[in-house]
Amino acid sequence: MQGLSALGSPANQNFISNAGFLVTPNGVVVVDALGSPALAQRLIAAIGKVTAQPITHLIVTHYHADHIYGLQAFKAVGARIIAHRAARDYLTSDTARLRLEASRRELAPFVNAQTRLVQADDWLDADQELSVGGVRILIRHAGPSHTPEDLVVFVPQEKVLFAGDLVFRARIPFVGQADSRQWIKALDGLLAFDAGTIVPGHGPASAAARDDLQLTRDYLVHLRTSMGTAAKNLDPFEEAYASADWSRFEKLPLFRVANRMNAFNTYLLMEQENK
């Protein structure tokens, strides 16, 4: 299910991220839960039209709201939730609680008082290989990158890579508090999977893996180069932002919404790295 290149709203039920699923002879493995219980129910219904197999596992690539507010619906149908242990700090934080409170106001009625944060059943400390119905599923920790807990999921026999928010396609990435230096290294590591298809966290699935990894990578490098030089020279952010060349990226969806915030967060990060 491909989300919209938009901000979450009641009109789109917070449908702004992707989720995918893999049908095996012994069950269905889902990657990410979408941004509201209603969307998760739609995904469960879509899976039911493809197969009568039960949903046995759900792998969370990371605990951002648009990927996890549907978890409770999958828990209700018996799915075992898998995530990286680094997400536990966020899940029990005031940040997660306050974000959910805000989402209940801003995304009502699709995120409401009944929407809750769901813990994983299996918290991973290391890479894992999952076998369901004889199908090998490789779960690899790629964080700290976009988030500390980033997981990617690779299905070797299909050469499909679920990349989570390490890859944004056809839109500006959301950088937030990301470790962009490690994110770039993680993108380089994804090329080693030799994937035929990449399912990004946002945007359409890609059969041109290298090109789409490169776009996200180039954007992060440009942020770090332009803001890093300014931070090193102690140039004011406003001056640095105004003088940077954004022409390659400014026509991408959500550029006006996200780029300035991305640049500012990167400026602050580069200040810390330069100390």
Mapping DSSP to helix (H, G, I), strand (E, B) and coil, where does residue 58 land? strand
Alpha-carbon distance 223 to 63, whole Å? 24
Residue 214 has what pLDDT? Answer: 87
Mapping DSSP to helix (H, G, I), strand (E, B) and coil, where does residue 24 land? strand
What's the number of CA atoms in the CB half-sphere (13 Å) around residue 247?
2
Q: Helices marked H in the chain — which ranges?
A: 37-50, 65-68, 71-76, 87-91, 94-106, 180-190, 209-232, 237-243, 255-274
CATH architecture of the domain with residue range 10-208: 4-Layer Sandwich (3.60)
Whether residue 146 contacts residue 180, with contact meaning beta carbons closer than 8 Å, is answered with no
Q: Which two tokens stand for residue 150?
A: 């980033």
| Exposed e or buried b per residue across 123-134, where buried means at least 16 C-beta atoms within 10 angstroms of its C-beta | ebeeebebebee
Cα(first)–Cα(last) distance of the chain, in Å? 43
Whether residue 74 contacts residue 46, with contact meaning beta carbons closer than 8 Å, is answered with no
Q: Which two tokens stand for residue 164?
A: 């989570």
Mapping DSSP to helix (H, G, I), strand (E, B) and coil, where does residue 47 land? helix
Model confidence pLDDT, tens digit, residues 64-122? 999 999 999 999 999 999 999 999 999 999 999 999 999 999 999 999 999 999 999 99
Model confidence pLDDT, tens digit, residues 122-173? 999 999 999 999 999 999 999 899 999 999 999 999 999 999 999 999 889 9
Mapping DSSP to helix (H, G, I), strand (E, B) and coil, where does residue 109 land? coil
Alpha-carbon distance 146 to 51, whole Å? 33
Q: What percentage of the chain exceeds 90 in pLDDT?
A: 91
Whether residue 75 contacts residue 116, with contact meaning beta carbons closer than 8 Å, is answered with no
Residue 130 has what pLDDT? Answer: 97
What's the number of CA atoms in the CB half-sphere (13 Å) around residue 25?
5
Whether residue 26 contacts residue 56, with contact meaning beta carbons closer than 8 Å, is answered with yes
Mapping DSSP to helix (H, G, I), strand (E, B) and coil, where does residue 82 land? strand
Residue 275 has what pLDDT? Answer: 76
What's the number of CA atoms in the CB half-sphere (13 Å) around residue 6?
12
Q: Cα 155 to chain center, whole Å?
A: 18
Task: Give residues with Cβ within 8 angstroms of 212, minimum separation 6.
Answer: 167, 169, 198, 200, 206
Whole-model pTM: value is 0.94
Residue 192 has what pLDDT? Answer: 85
* Domain range summary for the chain, segments of one domain joined by +: 10-208
Mapping DSSP to helix (H, G, I), strand (E, B) and coil, where does residue 210 land? helix
Alpha-carbon distance 148 to 144, whole Å? 4
